[in-house]
Structure 1
Amino acid sequence: MQTLKYLQGYPAHLTEQVNQLIAKEQLAGLLLKKYPKPHTVTTEKALYDYVVDIKNQYLKKSAPISKVAFDNKINVIHHALGLHTFVSRVQGGKLKAKHEIRVAAIFKSAPEAFLRMIVVHELAHLREKEHNKAFYQLCCHMEPNYHQLEFDMRLYLTQLDTFGPIYS
């Protein structure tokens, strides 16, 4: 049995099922059946528009997003979902704050559902800094299938590590 680094903390019965899928080389098939094609959000401008549309739908009164980008430097093992950064600077006598969202470049060719789940996760940090109950309630408000998508995204990362990409 293989160590499933993206599925640590999940129950043994689930990880056993994933190991069986890997042994039979059926993980890609499962993912392709559920998510047959990657999203079409490939430019930084399209990603920005995508994020702002979701933000405006659910978090109208939250602070504006100043930058959204795909980032090649995000280490997926530690930051599987991307990064939300909050930068405060004093300019003149005023305090300027900026919110930035960075999505790991590995998700540039992932299913749209995974991109949405990552964006929802990072947008939830506008209101909730910690990964607490309120944070996950907000994630589920914006994306009702949040927890299933997070699990499936972890399967996708496992597929990438084990066999490579499934979308060309």
Structure 2
Amino acid sequence: MARKADAKLLKPKVDVQSLPNSKDLKPNSDPLRYIRHYPQAVISQVKALLDNNELGEHLLKKYPRVHNIRTDKALYDYTLEIKQAFLKQTDPLSKVIFDDKISLSHQALGLHSYVNRRQGNKVKAKNEIRISSRLKRIPEPLLKMVIVHELAHLREKDHNKAFYQLCCNMQSNYHQLELDMRLLLICESIGQSPY
């Protein structure tokens, strides 16, 4: 049986009701946070498009249609096709899925995981790629860019020079597509996504 002294030790020193919760915390309101590390000339062009409410229209002109990959099976097949074309020697993928739990607000579009499991004397490696479900309704080149990014992590774990060279090898205009994806994230953050 707990004593009164023990109960006092367990009681929080701060009123829990007075602490801020997720509703009270304001998200980062700077829509340009996604391109903060780009050259000032690029940031100025994006600001001009934002000021004139033309950023979504700019993306829609460049990418008028969304892809038709809606199921996890279709996503797995699409990813496997890219992997077979460029990364035949890497470990196999066990799973590629759209994941509802990945939030675009945390600047995560996809996740890769590498899990070793021991079964008796054997060690089995398991590679998984999870793509944000929000990416079900974007243009195919932007989806491919995210998949290429996650596939590159099968060979290069860090975002180093070799990683980006591999991404460019799999998708020659990778850097432009990455910028366009960031522009789409800006549109999302201000509630003006064209897709």
Scaled to the shorter chain, the TM-score interval is over 0.9
Judged with a 3 Å threshold, the aligned counterparts in structure 2 of structure 1 residues 3 and 44 are, in CA distance, closer, same or farther, namely closer
Percent of pairs with identical residues: 54
Structure 2 residues not aligned, in runs of 5+: 1-29
Q: Which sits farther off after the overlay, 137-146 or 156-165?
A: 156-165
Alignment length (residue pairs):
166
- 1:50 corresponds to: 78
**Stretches of 4+ aligned residues off by more than 4 angstroms:** none
Q: How big is the shift at 1:80?
A: 3.1
Q: 2:163 aligns with which of 135, 140, 154?
A: 135
The answer to whether the 8 Å contact 2:102/2:109 transfers is no
- Show the 5 A alignment for 1:19-168: 19-167=47-195
The answer to whether the 8 Å contact 1:84/1:99 transfers is yes
Provide the secondary structure at the position in 1 that maps to 2:148. Answer: helix
Structure 1 residues not aligned, in runs of 5+: none
Provide the secondary structure at the position in 1 that maps to 2:104. Answer: coil
The answer to whether the 8 Å contact 1:128/1:134 transfers is yes
Of structures 1 and 2, the larger Rg is shown by 2
The whole-number CA distance in structure 1 between the counterparts of 2:150 and 2:181 is 15
Match of 1:133, as an amino acid? K
Q: Which sits farther off after the overlay, 53-62 or 78-87?
A: 78-87
TM-score normalized with structure 1 length: 0.94
The answer to whether the 8 Å contact 1:81/1:121 transfers is no
The answer to whether the 8 Å contact 1:55/1:123 transfers is yes
Q: How big is the shift at 1:14?
A: 1.1
TM-score normalized with structure 2 length: 0.82
The whole-number CA distance in structure 1 between the counterparts of 2:31 and 2:39 is 13
